[in-house]
């Protein structure tokens, strides 16, 4: 376990203490320690699914200083608009043993493969907190391909992972898709840093296509075109 992970887990746990009753916290602690001690993977899967039954599904109320602490623990981490069950699910994922890389990645892939919407959102929002992040690029790109908007948004919005790990092809597709499904570009991290000339061209083409069909074009598109051209 790296020190970063200890502190992200500790932070999440401290937030949950304010939102979950004693019985729920006891359950969570029990499951965390079972998972951390390498219990059968089924224990992790069932606990991960059943989490809302023990934690409820209220909004996670974070203060400004909570969010600042998050950004210090992991640069770019911004758990805004999280729910209590999402935070608890992520805590369980962070409890997985990480020494054996292939075992860890296999377990993650299995849980992704059988996940429902709420579980997918939790998993994709956890991307910046997971170990072996370079190995998760294909999985993250799969999230961008989702037609379920909240799953797409879980990867694309308020998430430092794409800007840090996506190549230009994956990045540009994500930006274009965000416009296409109406997700706000200003919630995408690293927009300026990752602006590139190919993206500018794609955006202009997309705008022409919209205009030819008498459809509106988001003002955010033109701002991004400007930034992308300045860089070229």
Least distance from other proteins to the Cβ atom of residue 42, Å:
7
Q: Which CB atom, from 131 or from 139, has the smaller least distance to other proteins?
A: 139
Q: Is 166 left (phi over 0), alpha (psi -120 to 50) or beta?
A: beta
Contact 140, 166 (CB under 8 A): yes
Q: Which is nearer to other proteins, 14 or 61 (CB)?
A: 61
Query: Which residue lies nearer to other proteins by CB, 9 or 79?
Result: 79
DSSP 23-57: HHHHHHHHHHHHHHTT--HHHHHHHHHHHHHHH--
Angstrom distance (rounded) from CA 173 to CA 162: 11
Closest approach of other proteins to the CB of residue 106, in Å: 15
Query: Shortest approach of other proteins to residue 72 CB, angstroms?
Result: 24
| For other proteins, the closer CB: 117 or 169 | 117
Shortest distance, position 193 Cβ to other proteins, whole Å: 22
- Name the site residues for other proteins (rule: CB under 8 A): 42, 45-46, 49-50, 52-53, 81, 113-120, 147-150, 153-154, 157, 180-184, 187, 215
CA distance 75 to 78: 9
Give min distance, CB of 81 to other proteins, in A: 5
Q: Which residues contact 122 (CB under 8 A, 6 or more apart)?
A: 85, 86, 89, 90, 93, 154
Q: Taking CA 170 as the corner, what is the angle to CA 116 and CA 177, rounded to the nearest 5 degrees? A: 65
Q: Which is nearer to other proteins, 52 or 190 (CB)?
A: 52
Q: Which is nearer to other proteins, 115 or 175 (CB)?
A: 115
Distance in Å, CB of 101 to other proteins, minimum: 24
Closest CA to 218 of 174, 182, 173: 182
Q: Which of 203, 135, 148, 147 is nearest to 171 (CA)?
A: 203
Q: What is the DSSP letter of 136?
A: G
């Amino acid at each position: 376990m790296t020190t970063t992970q200890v502190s992200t887990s500790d932070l999440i746990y401290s937030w949950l203490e304010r939102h979950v009753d004693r019985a729920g916290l006891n359950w969570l602690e029990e499951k965390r320690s079972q998972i951390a001690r390498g219990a059968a993977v089924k224990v992790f899967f069932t606990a991960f699914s059943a989490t809302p039954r023990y934690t409820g599904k209220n909004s996670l109320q974070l203060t400004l200083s909570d969010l600042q602490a998050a950004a210090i623990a992991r640069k770019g981490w911004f758990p805004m608009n999280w729910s209590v069950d999402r935070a608890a699910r992520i805590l369980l994922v962070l409890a997985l043993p990480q020494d054996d890389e292939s075992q860890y990645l296999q377990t993650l892939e299995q849980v992704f493969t059988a996940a429902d919407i709420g579980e997918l959102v939790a998993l994709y929002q956890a991307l910046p907190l997971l170990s072996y992040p370079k190995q998760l690029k294909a999985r993250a790109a799969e999230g961008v391909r989702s037609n379920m908007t909240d799953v797409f948004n879980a990867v694309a919005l308020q998430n430092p992972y794409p800007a840090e790990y996506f190549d230009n092809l994956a990045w540009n597709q994500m930006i274009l898709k965000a416009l296409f499904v109406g997700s706000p570009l200003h919630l995408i991290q690293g927009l300026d840093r990752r602006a590139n000339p190919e993206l500018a061209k794609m955006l202009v083409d997309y705008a022409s296509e919209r205009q030819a069909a008498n459809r509106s074009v988001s003002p955010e598109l033109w701002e991004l075109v400007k930034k992308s051209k300045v860089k070229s």
